[in-house]
Amino acid sequence: PPPPPPDREYVFEDVHFDFDRYNLRLGATRLLDEVVAALEEDGDLRIEIEGHTCNIGTSEYNQALGERRAVAVRDYLTSRGIPAGRLRTVTFGEERPMHDNAREETRRLNRRAALVVRLQ
């Protein structure tokens, strides 16, 4: 018999946000529509949506902002027909920066929602 097909590997781009905002930018829907297509194609796929911020503001404020960013992404995906049970949100606020927070040009890259793949 032929060998089984290789496991699919999913890597999604981060959704970036403007400073102190959690509304989706215009380009974000293109990225998220790719996530919708993958979720529709693979019923075992689950997504964890991580909300992140830069280090400007208090830790408590950034935790809440990170949560609002994750929820904005989740809400878009569910509005496109993805069941909420396949999505999980978590917030890290400023705790897990991907880039250096010392300079604005890299700090802005930390204002994001990361989509982490979970296979059932």
Read off the pLDDT of residues 1-46 as tens digits, 9 standing for 90 and up.
877 666 678 899 999 999 999 999 989 999 999 999 999 999 989 9
Report pLDDT for 35: 97
- Say which residues have a Cβ less than 8 Å from residue 19's Cβ, sequence separation at least 6: 54, 56, 108, 111
| Per-residue tokens: 44 | 């075992």
Distance CA 68, CA 76 (A): 12
pTM, to two decimals: 0.91
Distance CA 39, CA 51 (A): 20
Report pLDDT for 68: 98
